[in-house]
Chain A
Amino acid sequence: MRSLLHVLNLSVQSPNRPILHDVSFTLESGQVLAITGESGSGKSTLALSLTGLLPPGFQTNGSIRLEKTELSTLSERDWCQIRGKRLGMVFQEPMTALNPTRRIGTQIGDTFRLHTTLSRREIDTETRTLMEQVGLSEADVSKRAYPHQLSGGQRQRVLLAMALACQPELLIADEFSTALDARTQAAMMALVTRRCETQGMAVLMISHDLGLVRRHADHVLVMKDGACVEQGTTASVFNAPRHPYTQALLTMSLHGAARTPLTPLPVFTAPL
């Protein structure tokens, strides 16, 4: 495994207060790293700083390296070369993440138009293939549909298609399956893990759903008040949590889950 993302002593400061303190971790290609913790612990700020989308006025210290590229000092122009091409991101809220005035096919194809030299016809085919892959069949959803004609789950699939379009090395998923029903969630995660296995894509999954984390992540990083309190392999963190906060988090959320053993849901997967 080659290591893909190095975050070293990352601190982020908003105009009013510090948000992240000294967060460090490494992510290898093909691996899934879950970042978990309560609301307000700085998970989303971490995701934003990894994509260079922090609001103006925020200060970043430390180093973020994507292979050999140092991301923390990139200009906006250079960021445009990285985003979408080497790095994709899916949001939590599928209802607002699509432009209501543009057809979904156009929005998915946009990434191709920007980062590749494919012709119009090739982009059309690629878009169609991608939509099939995320489970939007021609029969169900037309490329020419507008976002309002789609359900929340279908919109989330469109967003995933947009993020996966240029086969990014790193996918950041910020609570992206929280708004979905269990079946769709499982299908989307299966698709993402398939990409990890076949193309070596790394996933940074931000979630407070510990069940989901346990099922899909290779490594876990637990955050509290902007600092990393514990990190390690999923098995070690879940079976032998060292930090009291992790222990509390696990007892609280797995208490109910322990009584109903996890049964794998029937998973829909489209061929990749």
Chain B
Amino acid sequence: MTARSNRTLRVGSILLGIVLLPATVITLFNGGHAPPIDVLHRYAPPSPLHPLGTDPFGRDLMVHVLTGAFNSVTIAAISVCLATIVGTALGLIAAARPARTIMGLADLGLAFPPVLIAALFVTALGASATGETLAIALFGLPAQIRITRQAARSILIQDYIAASRLAGRGPFYIMRRHVLPNILPLLTIQATSSLALAILSDAGLSYLGLGAPPPRPDLGRALASYQIHIFDHPLLVAIPGITIIFLVLGFNMFGDGLRDALDAAYEEHTL
């Protein structure tokens, strides 16, 4: 592992840790629900009781934003899992045989802007966490299919695939035992980097009101509803914004660092 990748990985982990550790602890206590409304203490400045002050409803800003961060990451994680599982399966099929239909649909999917897909889902399913998750997953699917297909093809031309076929193994076994283990590092990196994109999509969609409906705390909606206070109470806008930056940057750096680390380990193995 090189010193540089090590640092990227470390900075990424620290950024994620700053947000995700307290977010998880708080969510464990309040179950992902918004903190109580307290009309007597609206717009309170930071104090020992409310470390970052309160919002226009008197809710604790820190608790609200961190709960929102946990909810966003949950939606992002579920949609990335969906896209990875389905996309990998379709990508492997597309690598094994000429699959014009799959690739055609993937290209078609790439052509639609994600907001349009999300709007479609919200129209069909109503504004819900499920609809939003599916929309983000669908948005990530084409890239996942393409990457898996490309990676699988580079493995399928290896001599050990021919050797395995010569031993009498069929395509299913070869995909499961030879191709999948060899592209797994790539898929892991891809999933981590997709998380950053998924969080950004989630924030964007809920900012536009296409995400999970209130009162579920959400980073994008917090940003949207607090933005009128950008001059009188800048902290209200800064905190959700910084949280999104930390999460996106954190997952991106974590993914990059992971890639460098795995590459280094791979080279050490093969050379």
Contact = CB atoms under 8 A, between A and B. Distances in A.
A83 B164 CA distance: 9
A110 B167 contact: yes
Contact of A76 (B159, B170, B177): B170
A159 B168 contact: no
A174 to B, nearest CB: 10
B168 A85 contact: yes
A114 B165 CA distance: 11
A51 B166 contact: yes
B111 interface: no
A209 B170 CA distance: 34
B270 A162 contact: no
Contact of A83 (B167, B181, B182, B270): B167
A96 B178 CA distance: 13
Contacts of A93: 159
Interface string B240-271: 00000000000000000000000000000110
B97 to A, nearest CB: 9
Given A91-B163, A102-B177, A77 B170 contact: yes
Interface in A62-80: 76-77, 79-80
Contacts of A77: 170
Interface string B152-182: 0000001110111111111000000110011
A100 B159 contact: no
Main secondary structure of the interface of A (DSSP, over half): mixed
Interface residues of A, number: 33
Contacts of A5: none
A84 B269 contact: no
Contacts of A97: 159-160, 162-163
Interface magnitude class on chain B? 10 to 19
A53 B166 contact: yes
B182 A99 contact: yes
Contact of B167 (A76, A84, A96, A148): A84
A164 to B, nearest CB: 11
Interface in A6-56: 51, 53
Nearest to B158: A96
Interface string B40-54: 000000000000000
A111 interface: yes
A221 interface: no
Interface of B: 158-160, 162-170, 177-178, 181-182, 269-270
20 contacts: A53-B165, A82-B168, A83-B166, A85-B168, A87-B166, A88-B166, A89-B166, A91-B162, A93-B159, A96-B158, A97-B160, A98-B163, A100-B270, A102-B177, A102-B178, A102-B181, A110-B164, A110-B167, A114-B167, A114-B169
Given A98-B160, A102-B177, 7 more contacts: A51-B166, A53-B162, A53-B166, A87-B166, A99-B178, A114-B167, A114-B168
State the 3 A-B residue pairs at the shortest beta-carbon distance, nearest first.
A84-B168, A84-B167, A97-B159
Interface of A: 51, 53, 76-77, 79-85, 87-89, 91, 93, 96-102, 110-111, 114-115, 146, 148, 159, 162-163, 165
